[in-house]
Structures are given as C-alpha cells and as structure tokens.
Amino acid sequence: MNDLLMAFEVLLAIYKDGAYSNLELNKRVNGASNQAIVTRLVYGVLQKNVQLEYYLSKVVSKRPSKTIAVLLKLGMYTLTYINSIPKYAVVDSLVTICEKYGKRQLKGFVNSTLKNFDASKITLPNDKFEALSVETSVPQWLVRTYCKQYGFDRTKEFLSVDTFTKEHIRPNIKRLTLLQLKDRLDRENISYEESVAGGLFVDNNSYIKSLNERGEITFQSMTSMLAVQAMDVKDGEKILDMCSAPGGKAIYMSQLADAKITACDVHQHRLQLIRDYINRMGGADITVRYNDGSVFNQEFVDKFNKTLCDVPCSGLGVVGKKADVYLTASFEKCKELAVLQYEILCNASKYTKNRIVYSTCTTLREENYNVVGKFVKENTQWKISKSQQYLPDGKGQDGFFIAVLERSK
C-alpha cells in the first residue's frame, strides 16, 4: 500500500495544486519501498489521463470530488496496466487511502466502482476522432488539430508510437571522443545505438549517471543536437543564444567551434543553471547574461553573426518526457505562445547579420511554420533556407521543429 499511497499523494499535488510532476516525484520518491513502481504509477496516470477521464465518465453517474477522481484514476490505471500488484490488493489499498484522507463515507463507493471496473468492457466512442483521443490519450482538440495538419492516418501513426525510455547522450568532446565513449561503454557491457546526430541512445544506469556528473558526457536530445548543428558555427563568430537555459545548446556550440557565445535567459534564477552546466562541462567561452528576448535590446543590434532562437513553446512534442503537458495545454495557449515566439524572432533578426535557427519542441504549425512563414513574409530580407518538422517515432526522435533563416546578401 505504501507505494500506492505515495503515488496518490504525488498525483494529488499535481492535479489539485498544480505541482510539476518531476519536482514533486523527486521530492517524495526516496521514501518509497519501490521507487520504480511509484514513478511508473505517477507518469502512467498522467500519460493516460485523457483515457482515464473517459473511463471515469463511464463508471460513475456523477463526477466525484477531485480527491476521489484522482484515487479512481490511479486505481483504474493500476488495474489495467500493472500486473505485479494483485487486483484485490489494489482495491483494498485504495479503499484504505480513501479512509485515510477523510472520505470514510465513500469507501463503499470506491470499493464497488473499482471492483466493477473492467477496461476491456468499455467501448470506444463511435466518432473516429474521439476514439483516437481515447486510444492514444491525447486531448480531443489536439487530435482534431493534428488531423487537419497531418491527416488522420499520419496522426494516428505518430500518436500511437510507444514511449521511448532510453536516454540520448553525447560525449563532452573537450574530454572524450565518441569513439572513446563507445569503448568505455563496451568495457562496461552497456549496449548503445548511435543516432543521426552523433550521440548515443542508452539505458540510464549508475555508470551513465557518474559520467554525466563528472562532465564527461551530457544528456542532450538528438533533435536538440540537430538544432545546434544547423547553426553551422565557425571559429571567430559571435553567437547569440536567445533563450538559453539550462545551457546545453550554448555549450555544444562552444565545443564545435572557437566562437564567442552570449547565452541569455529571461529568468534570473535560470542563469545559474547555465553557469552550473558550464562548470560541470569544464568551462567554455560563454557570456551569461539576463535578457528578455521579447523586448528589443538596442545594445544587441547587428552584434552577432548568428542567433539561435530555441523559443518557449507548448512542449507538445516531448510529452513522453513531460507527462503533465496535456493537463494545462490548450489551443488558445498555443496561439498566445506563437505571438511571443514571433516577437523573439523579430528581435533576433535585428541582432543578427547572417543566420537564425528557429526551433521548438512542439508539433503544431501555429508555433512552427506559421511563425517563420509570417516572419519571412513581413521581413523580405530574410528567407527560409531549410525547415523540418520532426514527429515522435518511438525510436528516440522527439516532436521538434527546426528552421534555418538566412539574410539575403
């Protein structure tokens, strides 16, 4: 019961108080008897939230309070997806938790609801968009939006891929070559697969963590590396990283060429994340400074050869890693973000002589093609030389967008 209780308390903090899943889980999970199962329960419920909401609507006639709804979602998820806990133990534990949280009068309701629940007997909606929403546990508004942009079959394909659990790492090339990293992993009998970006997909373990802590490797997604490579940084160039924290892209750029890099962020506390990252990786020629990318800065005008705009976005392309993204996402918020993204891009164009790389970790045109398309239409001295929308493939590729913008000669 301890593991189910801990998972419930984490989920309650997320659903009721708006806590961030990773922070809340890290804060509490050390006391669990089985950290892996608590983590799986929490992220599993969040990832299946849309599906569990549908199940809940089918097993109760009136929506219960948030506390009981979270309890029932945890129960339905565990009964459906976790085979290591006997079903009777799941029900008994959640009934006990119900009483512990002062809902004694609802013990019978929780008990009968969970005992009667059987996911296999709940039919999907007749509407194909609603059915796909339930099957993939993606909000219906987003399913319909994706289908307009990618077509139904392509949408179903990328929404149905399995969650990819391996981590993507790259060597700190100031200390270790890719070949040397492979040799080390071979000696430790750790399997790996090389990515198109020149990093490695691995299962995280204590040895990988130790390499990261010593700054010999770093965790960086494949698509993040591709965005940096699209900058094509050269020796002697002045580079601006507009939205840099925690600093992984700026540091990677500093290792690819002897360039002078300015790494900015709008949040003062996140500037320290960049400095810490630089120190862990053995230092770099990077100037860290506060700057609001959405506000024009006269000091920056024409000062940089190239600029990276890895702008704030909805994060819809990385829901496999951030399971609570869907809880607060909406089409209106995506459109609001697009306004901010455009402001940042316009300011970047005034600071930059040659090239801008615009990137997001999202999958909607509103934050990607529409933003850069509007920009080049209204700023004719710039053109899109290359753009690509990456979609999750279940093999390590995130949902990510990269556009390379060049100033006309």
Indicate if 271 and 320 belong to the same structural domain: yes
Q: pTM above the 0.85 mark?
A: yes
pLDDT digits (tens, 9 = 90+) for 85-130: 899 999 999 999 999 888 889 999 999 999 999 999 999 999 999 9
Cα–Cα distance measured from residue 197 to residue 147, given in angstroms and rounded to the nearest whole number = 29
Q: Identify which has the larger pLDDT, 64 or 1.
A: 64
- pLDDT at site 52: 97
- pLDDT at site 60: 94
Indicate if 382 and 239 belong to the same structural domain: yes
Say which CATH number the domain at 297 has: 3.40.50.150
Indicate if 113 and 173 belong to the same structural domain: no
Cα–Cα distance measured from residue 182 to residue 178, given in angstroms and rounded to the nearest whole number = 6
Cα–Cα distance measured from residue 192 to residue 318, given in angstroms and rounded to the nearest whole number = 21
Indicate if 152 and 175 belong to the same structural domain: no
pLDDT value at 43 more than 80: yes
Cα–Cα distance measured from residue 7 to residue 40, given in angstroms and rounded to the nearest whole number = 9
Say which CATH number the domain at 69 has: 1.10.940.10
pLDDT digits (tens, 9 = 90+) for 356-401: 999 999 999 999 999 999 999 999 999 999 999 999 999 999 999 9
pLDDT value at 243 more than 80: yes
pLDDT value at 325 more than 90: yes
Indicate if 377 and 242 belong to the same structural domain: yes
Buried/exposed 357-385: b ≥16 CB within 10 Å, e otherwise: bbbbbbbbbbbbbebbeebbeeeeebeee
- pLDDT at site 383: 97
pLDDT digits (tens, 9 = 90+) for 177-235: 999 999 999 999 999 999 999 999 999 999 999 999 999 999 999 999 999 999 999 99
- pLDDT at site 25: 81
Indicate if 193 and 283 belong to the same structural domain: no
DSSP string over 9-58: HHHHHHHHH---HHHHHHHHGGG-S-HHHHHHHHHHHHHTHHHHHHHHHH
Structure tokens of 179? 């070949």
- pLDDT at site 28: 75
Cα–Cα distance measured from residue 338 to residue 344, given in angstroms and rounded to the nearest whole number = 10
- pLDDT at site 23: 82
Q: How many domains does the chain contain in total? A: 4
Indicate if 132 and 91 belong to the same structural domain: no
Say which CATH number the domain at 183 has: 3.30.70
Indicate if 283 and 294 belong to the same structural domain: yes
Indicate if 153 and 179 belong to the same structural domain: no
3-state secondary structure of 72: helix
Indicate if 67 and 203 belong to the same structural domain: no
pLDDT value at 168 more than 80: yes
Structure tokens of 267? 């949040």
Give pairs for 6-11: CB < 8 Å, separation 24+: 6/31, 6/32, 6/38, 7/37, 7/38, 7/41, 7/42, 7/45, 7/74, 8/70, 8/71, 8/74, 8/94, 8/97, 10/38, 10/42, 11/42, 11/45, 11/46, 11/70, 11/73, 11/74
- pLDDT at site 1: 56
Indicate if 232 and 376 belong to the same structural domain: yes
Q: Averaged over 77-91, what is the pLDDT?
A: 93
Indicate if 239 and 367 belong to the same structural domain: yes
pLDDT digits (tens, 9 = 90+) for 259-301: 999 999 999 999 999 999 999 999 999 999 999 999 999 999 9
pLDDT value at 32 more than 80: no
Mean pLDDT of the chain: 95
Range of the domain at 135: 128-159
pLDDT value at 33 more than 70: no
Which residues have a Cβ under 8 Å from the Cβ of 118 and sit 6 or more positions away?
none
